[in-house]
Structure 1
Amino acid sequence: MRLAPLVIAAASVALVSPAVAPAVAQADPATPSAPHVTVPGGRYEHAVDVKFQVARGTTVRYTLDGTTPTRDSRVYSPGRPLRIDKDTNVTAVAFHGNRASVPVSYGYLIKTAEKPLARLVVMSDVHVGGHAANDKKYESFFDTIGSVFPKPDAILLNGDMINDNGDGKGPDHKIVSEIFQANLARKRMTDTQVLISTGNHDDSLAAIRAGYPKAWFPDSGGGYYDSQVNGLHVLTVNTETYNSDTAQRAWLKQRLAAITADRAYAGKPVLVQGHRPATDTVMDGQQASNPRLTEDLSAFPQAVYFSGHSHLNINDERSIQQRDFTSVNDGSMSYVEMDHGYQMVTEKGLADRFESPTAQALFVEVYKDRTEIARVNMAADKHDIYTDGKWSASWQPPYASAGTLSGPTWTVRLKGSTNQQIKDNFTYTKAARNTVAPKFTTRQPLSAVRDAKGGTAVRIAQATDDQMVHHYNVDITDAATGKSLVSSKVLSDYYFMPRPNTLDIPVPGTVARGRYVARVVAVDAYGNASPAASLTFGK
């Protein structure tokens, strides 16, 4: 994957703090400061009562559905706590007169007192190239990790730790090691195992071995190995060579057969990490290149395979898939991608974009009867991935979205005494995919507005869906001539937290006294489409 990091400062707020999140830096002193919370986001084993704190004379409005609060959102009653008793993203904005603060979001994972067998953080595509752009960023990321798992049993680093493209950057692995060791020590996670897989941007296996403690990459020569985390098996495979590596294939099948034949291990997952996706699995196997890995894992429904490489986001429900085994996409710690063929609304208008400077990871808890996989944003503030035409993925903290949830927790249950019974009880299958279409919730979801440059734009009041709206099919034509001015599939900004309530689609080529027709359809990740919304505008 391409990377050319450029450090850009972002005015936002860190979620995690010892007690209360710090205020957002304000460019305009007349703009209200963002609300603070009395209970920081994170993982809790009980319901929490959250209060907002703002300057006198301001009003806090909030949402619990990932959208941006407006003047019509619920008002917070000062001093009265907001009870959070289930997994929730809370977003708040402070209003004072006709001014509003930037929105800040807090993610809460609400669990019971039941203790898991193991807690693991799964991340990939770190893409570190130096200390300057990454030291502060990873301090923020580890603060977020600590808010969810104060003492994780393991961190899986699933490939592409550096940005090597055959250009001799193998020594950069030492920089990654320094950053992670410093933060593990700072957060007192010194007992946390770190287990690394190799990716296509990691130079050689020798460079990885030279860069990290032996315990982090205990391979025997081929880049694959078997580990245990609190008695759970974690198998690391080398997806750069898997298809042609007969020894590795034999090793994986032998280990899986031996582990799953152990009656004492019945019902427990065998966690497998490998950098590249297995063919025809998550997000329909996009950017996958390992058909033989899919073939070999297919005999073992207890296998839960984590993969990165594609940078495809974990907001999308297609990032988990079950057929013969469970496949899970673990997102990216540098920037995420959407499936290709779409456009984004940017400051420069519609652009062919499929990337966002969003960092995400999985927080995995293995219990006796299930595996819970929480999806967490390390940073999901709204930014374009280009600034002044330059690649700018490396946005710097603080982040107003750190620790927010990028989707509901996935729960994997391995129920059954035979392989077929386990497969029959899978829930994240293609056959069980969502069939509910998005819908517009306002009487007139389209309106004509002036954009920041004085041009004409069609504003879409975003539709709702039981999961998420993926994109909009937008067609705008000249009513008199039938000429197409806009024909695009526009992404809905679902990968940001909070999600913008509206999208402004610029309409180039409009003229005074012209008359135009807009037709917009909301579409979810599975292709379910809403009825079209229409608008005729102009003279």
Structure 2
Amino acid sequence: MTNSFDEQHPDQKSKITRRTFIERTTKVAGLSLGLTFINPMTSLDVLADRGKKMSRKKPILVFPVVSDVHMNETSDQTFNKFKETLKQLNQLVPKQDAFAVVGDLTDNGLVPEYEKFKTAYEANKQSKAVSLIAIGNHDYWNGLPEADAQKRFLEVTKMPAIYYHKIIKGYHFIVLGTEDGVTEGTFSVKQIKWMSEKLKQAHTDDPKKPIFVFHHQPIKDTMYGSEWGFTANRDLFYDTLKKYPQVITFSGHTHYPLDDPRIIHQKDFTTIGTSTGAYLWLDAGRIQGEVPEGADILNQALIVEVYENQVIIKRRDIHNNDWTGEPFEISVPANKNSFKYTDARKDKKRPFFTNDAMLSIANDMTTATSLSIMFTQAKDNLLVHDYKVIVTNLETKEVAKEYLGFSEFYKDPVPNPVILNLEGLAPSTTYDIEVFALDAYSNISTNSITAIGRTKKGEPIKITLSKDKVSSIEETLDVVVEGVRAPKSDWVGLYEVNENPGEVESIWWQYTEVSGGTCKFTFNPKNNVNAARYKQGSTYKMVYFYGSGYETVASATFKVE
């Protein structure tokens, strides 16, 4: 790795990274796995969201942006990742003017977690870089009153207040602070009015210069992931900013990756997500789940360069020591009519499979209630985001299931072929499987690939509980899960009967331990991770899941009297 901020690093030619998945031909691995494919397949070209040549001109102002580093009291994983982030950003940007951290410094706002943040940050911080640190909702989750949680944050970070304003090299920086631990975020009318005054000040100083605004939770209905944004005072917040097209806001919270082109959005001003240094979170409704297997690998950052006539925002894969996607370019002075990243930019080109693409059933992973399919990644001019899988009962000609699965663009290396597990099927049944590709803008491929697969004989998975009622929230329960497959990250979780897995965290969960097709264990409520939701008078369900997904494979209910 060089110390030059302007140089790009060469691609790893021995593997497919997310960057090379977008930029160059993907390789076919199917034949090396000894599979028999329905259709022949050759190599695919995946067109590039190509990074433009890095500017050689020296920027007026430069600063990195990170967020959601989530120091943890009992694990050093995020601590070590944060140290690597700081080290790598120092190599890339040896002369930083500022350094921004957009909230969720910690998992739970605990003193040992803040100490880890402080230890890593102070050891690696550049002396001339101005610290811009915002508080996030997780930083309140320590059981303290809000004022005391804020006091702890301020004592560690040395920030002047929960929300504050700084001028760096003549550019205005406005850092906002969510005011409590509510997940979606709380920005009071008082704080928004204060922001309005600072925006007026910045505009008066120089209406042509960009104004940089930082807040942990995103503004709802803006960029990718903003469904997790705040609703209280949302319109007042947005309308305050919309008067100033030169505003560029940075928000964290979502943990959505920088790879997706929708991570930046422009309408009345610019919004951009800042990803995470902890673990990936993604769109709901996919086979892999919102927090897919291997999600804790992700570690990303932004590098912002300010020039006289533009702002360039570069996306960095810290975990892969490489860039991802092309830099975003924002013209200065700002003009809404010349915004590039609006809804109107929506890509119209459909992804597609080549004529010789192939799809196979992974027979060694087939069960009585599931089929696993393996197929080549499709092609797109930007990014293949998802695959739509339609499973039709060959005998009845009725659609049995429809699935959405990520292309796993977020992995390094990107798997090719990709494997999707199709759960919830009937035993001893033959299915026609058809796969379509979708890009980041939901354009669906005009062609598809198909295969035929049959589930194995056997009874569907069954959960048996030792009792259907327990007398107290302390009483244990014996659980037997029959017909399960050998461990493949399958798990059992506890939910209130009306809760939808994936939309809410489990009350308790564990991975399956299987012997002879059966998993046996004793559920002990003292191990509940969300104990407050386990209470007398309520009915609960024990649910079995395949892999990292949230589709119910089997369940059984009981009541706490």
Query: What TM-score comes out, normalization by structure 2 length?
Result: 0.66
Contact (CA 8 Å) 2:63, 2:100: kept in 1 or not?
Answer: yes
Match runs of 1:268-287 below 5 Å: 268-283=209-224, 285-287=226-228
Higher alpha-carbon Rg: 2
Map Cα deviations across residues 34-85 of structure 1 (whole Å, 9 max, x no partner).
xxxxxx367554688x699xxxxxx968887337987779xxxxxxxxxxxx
Contact (CA 8 Å) 2:361, 2:373: kept in 1 or not?
Answer: yes
Question: How has the CA–CA distance of structure 1 residues 451 and 370 changed in structure 2, closer, same or farther, with 3 Å as cutoff?
Answer: farther
Map Cα deviations across residues 343-378 of structure 1 (whole Å, 9 max, x no partner).
22xxxxxx5655722121111111111111111112
1:182 aligns with 2:97: no
Match of 1:436 in 2: 349
Match of 2:372 in 1: 457
Give the SS at the match of 2:354: coil
Candidates 382, 407, 414, aligned match of 2:325 = 407
Please give the alpha-carbon distance, in whole angstroms, between the structure 2 residues aligned to 1:410 and 1:533: 32
1:245 aligns with 2:185: no
Deviation for aligned residue 1:404: 2.2
Please give the alpha-carbon distance, in whole angstroms, between the structure 2 residues aligned to 1:435 and 1:51: 29
1:225 aligns with 2:140: no
Please give the alpha-carbon distance, in whole angstroms, between the structure 1 residues aligned to 2:443 and 2:27: 31
Candidates 196, 200, 213, aligned match of 2:137 = 200
Question: How has the CA–CA distance of structure 1 residues 144 and 442 changed in structure 2, closer, same or farther, with 3 Å as cutoff?
Answer: farther
Match of 1:325 in 2: 269
Question: How has the CA–CA distance of structure 1 residues 335 and 41 changed in structure 2, closer, same or farther, with 3 Å as cutoff?
Answer: farther
Please give the alpha-carbon distance, in whole angstroms, between the structure 1 residues aligned to 2:385 and 2:4: 28
Give the SS at the match of 1:65: helix
Map Cα deviations across residues 180-239 of structure 1 (whole Å, 9 max, x no partner).
11233xxxx232222111111112210111212x3xx122xxx11111233321110123
Contact (CA 8 Å) 1:474, 1:487: kept in 2 or not?
Answer: yes
Contact (CA 8 Å) 2:69, 2:78: kept in 1 or not?
Answer: no
Candidates 145, 152, 175, aligned match of 2:89 = 145
Question: How has the CA–CA distance of structure 1 residues 536 and 244 changed in structure 2, closer, same or farther, with 3 Å as cutoff?
Answer: closer
Match runs of 1:417-432 below 5 Å: 422-432=335-345
Give the SS at the match of 1:490: strand
In structure 1, stretches of 5+ residues that fail to align are 1-39, 53-58, 74-106, 345-350, 380-400, 417-421
1:535 aligns with 2:450: yes
Please give the alpha-carbon distance, in whole angstroms, between the structure 1 residues aligned to 2:26 and 2:378: 16
Match runs of 1:476-487 below 5 Å: 476-482=391-397, 484=399, 486-487=401-402
Match of 1:20 in 2: none
Candidates 358, 377, 394, aligned match of 1:445 = 358
Candidates 400, 415, 419, aligned match of 1:504 = 419
Please give the alpha-carbon distance, in whole angstroms, between the structure 2 residues aligned to 1:108 and 1:352: 28
Match runs of 1:3-402 below 5 Å: 40=1, 45=6, 65-66=20-21, 110-130=53-73, 132-164=76-108, 169-170=110-111, 172-184=113-125, 189-203=126-140, 204-212=149-157, 214=158, 217-219=159-161, 223-240=162-179, 245-262=188-205, 265-283=206-224, 285-289=226-230, 290-344=234-288, 353=291, 356-357=295-296, 358-379=298-319, 401=320
Please give the alpha-carbon distance, in whole angstroms, between the structure 1 residues aligned to 2:446 and 2:69: 41
Please give the alpha-carbon distance, in whole angstroms, between the structure 1 residues aligned to 2:26 and 2:336: 45
Give the SS at the match of 1:337: coil
Match runs of 1:515-530 below 5 Å: 515-530=430-445
Please give the alpha-carbon distance, in whole angstroms, between the structure 2 residues aligned to 1:123 and 1:330: 6
Q: CA RMSD in A?
A: 3.2
Deviation for aligned residue 1:450: 2.8
Contact (CA 8 Å) 1:282, 1:321: kept in 2 or not?
Answer: yes
Contact (CA 8 Å) 1:404, 1:497: kept in 2 or not?
Answer: no
Contact (CA 8 Å) 2:246, 2:333: kept in 1 or not?
Answer: no
Contact (CA 8 Å) 1:521, 1:532: kept in 2 or not?
Answer: yes
Give the SS at the match of 2:199: helix
Please give the alpha-carbon distance, in whole angstroms, between the structure 2 residues aligned to 1:523 and 1:108: 22
Give the SS at the match of 1:283: coil
Question: How has the CA–CA distance of structure 1 residues 352 and 138 changed in structure 2, closer, same or farther, with 3 Å as cutoff?
Answer: closer
Query: What TM-score comes out, normalization by structure 1 length?
Result: 0.69
Please give the alpha-carbon distance, in whole angstroms, between the structure 2 residues aligned to 1:108 and 1:147: 20
Contact (CA 8 Å) 1:485, 1:507: kept in 2 or not?
Answer: no
Question: How has the CA–CA distance of structure 1 residues 445 and 170 changed in structure 2, closer, same or farther, with 3 Å as cutoff?
Answer: same
Deviation for aligned residue 1:537: 2.7
Please give the alpha-carbon distance, in whole angstroms, between the structure 1 residues aligned to 2:402 and 2:189: 49
Question: How has the CA–CA distance of structure 1 residues 528 and 134 changed in structure 2, closer, same or farther, with 3 Å as cutoff?
Answer: closer
Map Cα deviations across residues 369-428 of structure 1 (whole Å, 9 max, x no partner).
11111111122xxxxxxxxxxxxxxxxxxxxx2x22232111111346xxxxx1111111
Give the SS at the match of 1:291: helix
In structure 2, stretches of 5+ residues that fail to align are 30-49, 141-148, 455-561
Contact (CA 8 Å) 1:518, 1:536: kept in 2 or not?
Answer: yes
Give the SS at the match of 2:20: coil
Worse-superposed segment, 406-415 or 454-463: 454-463
Question: How has the CA–CA distance of structure 1 residues 406 and 288 changed in structure 2, closer, same or farther, with 3 Å as cutoff?
Answer: same
Question: How has the CA–CA distance of structure 1 residues 282 and 210 changed in structure 2, closer, same or farther, with 3 Å as cutoff?
Answer: same
Deviation for aligned residue 1:474: 0.5
Please give the alpha-carbon distance, in whole angstroms, between the structure 2 residues aligned to 1:51 and 1:306: 28
Match of 1:97 in 2: none
Question: How has the CA–CA distance of structure 1 residues 412 and 60 changed in structure 2, closer, same or farther, with 3 Å as cutoff?
Answer: closer
Counterpart amino acid of 2:337? D
Matched residue count: 411
Deviation for aligned residue 1:144: 2.1
Map Cα deviations across residues 248-290 of structure 1 (whole Å, 9 max, x no partner).
222211111121123xx34321101011111321127311113
Please give the alpha-carbon distance, in whole angstroms, between the structure 2 residues aligned to 1:436 and 1:71: 23
